[in-house]
């Protein structure tokens, strides 16, 4: 009798531990929150890069400004998103004989999801594709189309309400952007702010 | 809109129970309490119309939100060049990017000041068709890349060493290619002109490498910008960034030994649809 009771007790303890583990796991999935409350439905996060540069090895190509529009939602408690627009402005190279004839984000929308890397919330942008067409008769990339592809992870600062993308955040999130078969560097600082149903509300991810 | 605002969600249950008149009165009161000064809550796209009248910084500074320290947070458009929102407003309307949130309007909320200048256009189908697409892989064990920076080239491959080309491997040669032509060029111009360090035509489309210091059978070497028929990396200063480029041609150009590398390149660009690119940097000392 005592053995049976012990077995039942052990089973209950094991179940409790399992439940606790799953509960911890579920709560660890980051979600979009406004004023501390989980987002219900969708919201639009819209902003402009405070600073951003993309370094393609050999020929540094920079865009002075760019904007983004991200529709976010929580699906099964986990934050997801869809980058639907990303207009670029004032893109140039570091060579006076090479100009950026055209450049644009392609195959939008790009999917995104929230994750946690060592307790820090991250946003992962997937399926990135940016095509760049260079011109300049004396340019090594004259009439050449270069495509940047891959995924990019940026850390989210809940206090400053910004997302930061750089070599460290890409490495930490095990993401990479490539062009010319090589990793490229992307540095960007973006504000995260809602513009639809939760305007003026504090946006956080946890 | 499928979604409801918080005010609408609050009001809806009352609407079911109350008369239409009561509901309208409650709704009006709710709207006043919520400070709804008009305007739709729906976000606009960047291509919408703009009614920007003030910078984000200006709006953010009077939002009065205490959470997340609005005042400390970087504000979109909070740059010197974007100050003076009147001109930006006009620019935004002309160039397309709205200031999406502004159109969402309202008397409060942050604004995005549209960047100056027109929005960049994505490559057109015509450009893509006519472009030389960097679709082939080109790599070298002598050029070890690092994130965001070209891989470094050892001095043995320059005039400071043996001035011998490194081993190069390639892949992804498109079907229908009849000839491969390999170029090595300075990324930055010399005397405002393209500087070619090496050009080798006549490489077989079935080939997938050129070994260090070994010229494949049938290869045709052109005259480089040093005036020599051969290879040389010899920067005038402390170093240079170089670009190896392997062009795939659907029809042979059949140049002869000592061809003018700079002149042939324009013909290559007119014919070639694909290229493999490998940047490399050489720094003395």
Angle at B205 between CA A147 and CA B276, to 5 degrees: 20
Instruction: Answer yes or no: do A8 and A87 share one domain.
Output: no
Q: Please answer yes or no on whether B150 and A159 come within 8 Å at the CB atom.
A: no
Domain containing A41 equals: 31-205
**B93 backbone dihedrals φ, ψ, rounded to 5°:** -65, -35
Mean pLDDT of A41-55: 82
Instruction: Answer yes or no: do A153 and A58 share one domain.
Output: yes
Q: What is the pLDDT of residues A75-113, one digit of tens each?
A: 999 999 999 999 999 999 989 899 999 999 999 999 999
Nearest-CB residue to A102 (from B121, B185, B187): B121
Instruction: Answer yes or no: do A78 and A14 share one domain.
Output: no
Q: What is the pLDDT of residues B5-18, one digit of tens each?
A: 333 333 333 333 33
> Using an 8 Å Cβ cutoff, are B248 and B180 in contact?
yes
* pLDDT bracket for residue B117 (50, 70, 90): confident
Nearest-CB residue to B76 (from A47, A69, A179): A47
Measured in angstroms, the CA of B226 and the nearest CA of chain A are apart by: 16
What pLDDT is attached to residue A10? Answer: 56
**Cross-strand partners of B243:** B185, B279
- pTM listed for this prediction: 0.73
| Cβ contacts of A95 on chain B, cutoff 8 Å | 187-189
Q: Please answer yes or no on whether A55 and B148 come within 8 Å at the CB atom.
A: yes
Instruction: Answer yes or no: do A24 and A96 share one domain.
Output: no
Instruction: Answer yes or no: do A111 and A174 share one domain.
Output: yes
Instruction: Answer yes or no: do A135 and A196 share one domain.
Output: yes
Measured in angstroms, the CA of A7 and the nearest CA of chain B are apart by: 50
Q: Please answer yes or no on whether A140 and B243 come within 8 Å at the CB atom.
A: yes
Which is higher by pLDDT, A27 or A180? A180
Nearest-CB residue to B194 (from A96, A138, A203): A138
* B261–A contact, CB cutoff 8 A: no
Instruction: Answer yes or no: do A132 and A113 share one domain.
Output: yes
> Using an 8 Å Cβ cutoff, are B212 and B166 in contact?
yes
Number of domains in chain A: 2
Measured in angstroms, the CA of A141 and the nearest CA of chain B are apart by: 9
What pLDDT is attached to residue B127? Answer: 94
Helix (H, G, I), strand (E, B) or coil at B266: helix
Instruction: Answer yes or no: do A152 and A95 share one domain.
Output: yes
Highest mean pLDDT among B77-86, B112-121, B273-282: B273-282
The two structure tokens encoding residue A202: 């504090």
Measured in angstroms, the CA of A82 and the nearest CA of chain B are apart by: 14
Cα–Cα distance for residue pair B210/A195, rounded to 1 Å: 56
* B66–A contact, CB cutoff 8 A: no
Mutation for testing the B interface, residue in A45, A51, A87, A105 having most B CBs under 10 Å: A87
> Using an 8 Å Cβ cutoff, are A56 and A186 in contact?
no
- Helix B6-17 to helix B20-34 angle (10° resolution) is 160
* B106–A contact, CB cutoff 8 A: yes
For chain B, give the longest Cα–Cα distance: 94
| Cβ contacts of A161 on chain B, cutoff 8 Å | 68, 73
What pLDDT is attached to residue B226? Answer: 96
Helix (H, G, I), strand (E, B) or coil at B51: coil
Instruction: Answer yes or no: do A80 and A171 share one domain.
Output: yes
Q: Which helix (H) or strand (E) holds B95?
A: helix B85-95
Mean pLDDT of chain A: 86
Mutation for testing the A interface, residue in B10, B37, B43 having most A CBs under 10 Å: B43
Instruction: Answer yes or no: do A9 and A53 share one domain.
Output: no
Q: What is the ipTM of this complex?
A: 0.79
| Cβ contacts of A184 on chain B, cutoff 8 Å | 147-148
Instruction: Answer yes or no: do A110 and A141 share one domain.
Output: yes
**B9 backbone dihedrals φ, ψ, rounded to 5°:** -65, -35
Q: Please answer yes or no on whether B43 and A196 come within 8 Å at the CB atom.
A: yes
* B5–A contact, CB cutoff 8 A: yes
**Cross-strand partners of B242:** B186, B280
Measured in angstroms, the CA of A135 and the nearest CA of chain B are apart by: 10
Mean pLDDT of A153-172: 94
Instruction: Answer yes or no: do A2 and A43 share one domain.
Output: no
Mutation for testing the A interface, residue in B39, B46, B146, B183 having most A CBs under 10 Å: B46
Mean pLDDT of B35-64: 37
Question: How many CB atoms neighbour CB B87 within 10 A?
Answer: 11
* B132–A contact, CB cutoff 8 A: yes
Which is higher by pLDDT, B226 or B76? B226
Cα–Cα distance for residue pair B47/A63, rounded to 1 Å: 19
Exposure b/e, B210-247, CB count within 10 A at least 16 = b: beeeeeeeebbbbbbbeeeebbbbebeeeebbbbbbbb
Give the position of tokens 């990793």. A183
| Cβ contacts of B138 on chain A, cutoff 8 Å | 181
């Amino acid at each position: 009798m005592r053995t049976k009771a012990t077995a039942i007790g052990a089973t209950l303890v094991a179940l409790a531990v399992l439940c606790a583990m799953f509960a911890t796991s579920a709560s660890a999935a980051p979600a979009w929150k406004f004023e501390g409350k989980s987002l219900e439905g969708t919201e639009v996060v819209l902003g402009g890069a405070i600073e951003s540069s993309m370094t393609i090895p050999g020929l540094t190509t920079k865009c002075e400004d760019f904007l983004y529009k991200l529709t976010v939602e929580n699906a099964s408690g986990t934050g997801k998103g869809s980058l639907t627009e990303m207009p670029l402005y004032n893109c140039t190279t570091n060579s006076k004989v090479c100009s950026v004839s055209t450049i644009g984000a392609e195959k939008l929308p790009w999917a995104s999801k929230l994750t946690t890397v060592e307790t820090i919330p991250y946003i992962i942008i997937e399926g990135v594709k940016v095509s760049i067409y260079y011109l300049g008769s004396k340019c090594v990339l004259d009439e050449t189309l270069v495509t940047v592809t891959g995924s990019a992870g940026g850390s989210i600062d809940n206090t400053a309400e910004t997302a930061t993308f750089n070599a460290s955040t890409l490495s930490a999130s095990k993401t990479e952007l490539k062009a010319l078969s090589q990793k490229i560097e992307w540095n960007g600082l973006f504000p995260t702010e809602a513009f639809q149903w939760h305007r003026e509300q504090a946006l956080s991810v946890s | 809109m499928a979604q409801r605002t918080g005010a609408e969600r609050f009001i809806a249950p009352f609407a079911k129970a109350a008369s239409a008149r009561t509901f309208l009165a409650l709704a009006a009161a709710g709207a006043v309490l919520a400070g709804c000064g008009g305007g739709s809550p729906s976000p606009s796209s960047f291509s919408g119309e703009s009614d920007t009248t003030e910078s984000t910084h200006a709006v953010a500074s009077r939002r009065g939100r205490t959470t997340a320290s609005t005042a400390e947070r970087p504000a979109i458009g909070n740059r010197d060049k974007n100050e003076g929102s009147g001109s930006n407003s006009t620019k935004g309307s002309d160039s397309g990017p709205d200031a999406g949130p502004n159109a969402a309007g309202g008397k409060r909320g942050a604004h995005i000041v549209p960047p100056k200048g027109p929005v960049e256009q994505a490559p057109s189908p015509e450009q893509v068709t006519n472009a030389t697409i960097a679709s082939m892989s080109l790599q070298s064990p002598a050029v070890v890349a690092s994130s965001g920076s070209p891989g470094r080239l050892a001095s043995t491959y320059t005039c400071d060493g043996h001035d011998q080309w490194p081993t190069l491997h390639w892949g992804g040669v498109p079907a229908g290619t009849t000839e491969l032509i390999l170029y090595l060029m300075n990324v930055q111009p010399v005397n405002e002109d393209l500087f070619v360090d090496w050009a080798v035509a006549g490489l077989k489309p079935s080939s997938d490498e050129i070994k260090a210091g070994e010229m494949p059978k049938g290869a045709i070497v052109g005259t480089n910008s040093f005036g020599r028929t051969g290879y040389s990396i010899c920067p005038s200063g402390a170093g240079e960034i170089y670009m190896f480029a392997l062009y795939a041609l659907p029809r042979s150009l059949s140049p002869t030994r000592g061809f003018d590398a700079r002149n042939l390149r324009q013909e290559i660009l007119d014919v070639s649809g694909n290229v493999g690119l490998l940047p490399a940097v050489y720094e003395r000392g």
